[in-house]
Structure 1
Amino acid sequence: MWSMTSQEEIKVVLLACGSFNPITNMHLRMFELARDHLEDSGKYRVVKGIISPVGDSYKKKGLIDASHRLKMARLATQNSDWITVDDWECQQPEWVETAKVVRHHYEELISSENNNDDVDTVRGVKRRKLKQHESICQSSSYINTNEVTPQLKLLCGADVLESFGVPNLWKPEDIEEIVGRYGVACITRYGGDPEKFINQSDVLYRHRKNIHVIREWVTNEISATHVRRSLRRRQSVRYLLPDAVVNYIQENNLYSAESEQKNADVILAPLQRYTCTN
């Protein structure tokens, strides 16, 4: 069986899930920061980044149609040689938990690795890797450090990490799976203290070695909420978003006082689902 030596780097794929409403330069910057941090450790080589916009059924206030958010994400990454946009999540008829999205993309990685093997051995390789994947699903403390298949890590901001503590927003077993089996690359902004939150959470503390806290020392407080506010007020957002995204928003008259009220009276999908089951 293949084993990693100290001279070999672990391949990593970074997956960012979110509204991307709209995608900003900071969203793209997160990928660069995470890649630098992981590769500077000498242990990892980041081979791909994936942006996965959430579906309309998430029901977040002000969330415009996925078709627009998907198009803007693709425009934003058209010049990147390693960051891609995937539409699987936003094409699902119902809201999909982030853990299932992560699981889907990991299975895609396994499938891709299978397709790269020789034809004569693909069936045996597939069986072996699927068996390995089944063992992953049975172990809550699994950290993938010795597989040929790249690791998949959820890329997020510190606010997502802290949202793990919001009642009924996440299933405890989903947090366990995301952090324990896959791992998280967390970008923190000025004034944030994710280490404190990790220390206060038993689950996160147990898997702290699988959480990569990455500090952004060049202060950049771009947020999609602030961008939408500026757009409603007909203020310039140039240099906050890629030019192609700014042009798309203007051409399609996106983001207005009316669009910001979309889903205003609707309960967020995870709160609907998990509150009803508790």
Structure 2
Amino acid sequence: MSSQEKTKVVLLACGSFNPITNMHLRMFELARDHLEDTGRYRVVKGIISPVGDGYKKKGLIEACHRLEMARLATQDSDWITVDDWESQQPEWVETVKVVRHHHAELTSSENNNDDVDTVRCGKRRKLEKNKNTHQSCSYINTEADPPHLNLLCGADILESFGIPNLWKPEDIEEIVDRYGVACITRYGSDPEKFINQSDVLYKHRKNIHVIREWVTNEISATHVRRALRRGQSIRYLLPDPVVRYINDHSLYSAESEQKNAEVILAPFQRYTSTN
């Protein structure tokens, strides 16, 4: 199958990124390898969408810091980008609406002949740099169909679909049916078992790519914040520019970890009140 015949895919990761870790970035690489190894897909872009402050998660620092850390973490990537639309909304936005937004953006870009293929653009940008040119990278659309959008997540997010009042059932169905999910396994998780136990996920199982990480890496933002509170080193857990940013701005402390401690998580507030 030629490159033009393969389905273009954009990977969208939503989450707190509090802070972004090397594992968050690694998920994109794992998903791209898995999808492209099937011979049916060409991953053209990765998008990181940090949640807004309205999510009210305990210990969630301001979106401006989480956005900047994500940008620093991806500054050397030629295909992973950071989008601030979700984080700039005044209230928490359901993940399905974030997915819809980015799908609409991709469709609009395609209709306007703006290529979202950041992999190709990155290569062209490097060639232009080598030629000492300073032209901006204007995207060239070579395929008519808009890219397929997959929600990229860890197995813990997939399994959170089963937590009452955290997700609306119709939102889950729309995500897995219309868009699809690329799920990275984690130590101790069993996404295949969870999919088998869920009627909705089992119904749309062909749209869920379960991706095994054989080189297990259990870095978590929670563990990073704990180390910071205790004055321990976090180097090599996060990209160096992110470590420097955290140190320069004195982020993450015992006080910041108590932020929103007495507040109910936004999904529970919204969905419990409507039941």
Identical residues among aligned pairs (%) = 85
Q: CA RMSD in A?
A: 1.6
Cα distance in structure 2, aligned partners of 1:174 and 1:42: 30
Consecutive aligned runs of 4 or more in structure 1 exceeding 2 Å deviation: 4-7
Q: Partner amino acid for 1:192?
A: S
User: Residue 11 of structure 2 corresponds to which residue in structure 1?
Assistant: 14
User: Residue 266 of structure 1 corresponds to which residue in structure 2?
Assistant: 263
User: Residue 142 of structure 1 corresponds to which residue in structure 2?
Assistant: none
Q: Does 1:88 align with 2:85?
A: yes
Cα distance in structure 1, aligned partners of 2:3 and 2:254: 55
Cα distance in structure 2, aligned partners of 1:190 and 1:79: 28
Cα distance in structure 2, aligned partners of 1:190 and 1:275: 31
Deviation at 1:5, TM superposition (A): 9.1
Q: Does 1:194 align with 2:191?
A: yes
Deviation at 1:192, TM superposition (A): 1.5
Cα distance in structure 2, aligned partners of 1:266 and 1:115: 43
**Aligned ranges for residues 137-148 of structure 1 at < 5 Å?**
148=145
Q: Does 1:36 align with 2:33?
A: yes
- Give the 3-state SS of the residue equivalent to 1:273 in structure 2: helix
Q: Aligned in 2, Cα 1:202/1:237: closer, same or farther, shift over 3 Å?
A: same
Cα distance in structure 1, aligned partners of 2:3 and 2:230: 54
Cα distance in structure 2, aligned partners of 1:69 and 1:224: 12
Cα distance in structure 2, aligned partners of 1:80 and 1:5: 25
CA contact (8 A) 2:3 2:42 kept: no
User: Residue 239 of structure 1 corresponds to which residue in structure 2?
Assistant: 236
User: Residue 131 of structure 2 corresponds to which residue in structure 1?
Assistant: none
User: Residue 152 of structure 1 corresponds to which residue in structure 2?
Assistant: 149
Deviation at 1:6, TM superposition (A): 11
User: Structure 2: where are the runs of 5+ without partners?
Assistant: 115-142
CA offsets per residue over residues 7-65 of structure 1, 9 Å max, x none?
82000000000000000000000000000000000000000000000000000000000
Cα distance in structure 2, aligned partners of 1:173 and 1:147: 30
Q: What TM-score do you get using the length of structure 2 for normalisation?
A: 0.88
User: Residue 49 of structure 2 corresponds to which residue in structure 1?
Assistant: 52
Cα distance in structure 1, aligned partners of 2:67 and 2:96: 20
User: Residue 141 of structure 1 corresponds to which residue in structure 2?
Assistant: none
Cα distance in structure 2, aligned partners of 1:6 and 1:165: 38
Q: Aligned in 2, Cα 1:111/1:6: closer, same or farther, shift over 3 Å?
A: closer
User: Residue 131 of structure 1 corresponds to which residue in structure 2?
Assistant: none
Q: Does 1:116 align with 2:113?
A: yes
User: Structure 1: where are the runs of 5+ without partners?
Assistant: 118-145
CA contact (8 A) 2:154 2:184 kept: yes
CA contact (8 A) 1:190 1:217 kept: no
User: Residue 172 of structure 1 corresponds to which residue in structure 2?
Assistant: 169
Deviation at 1:191, TM superposition (A): 2.5
Deviation at 1:82, TM superposition (A): 0.1
Deviation at 1:190, TM superposition (A): 2.5
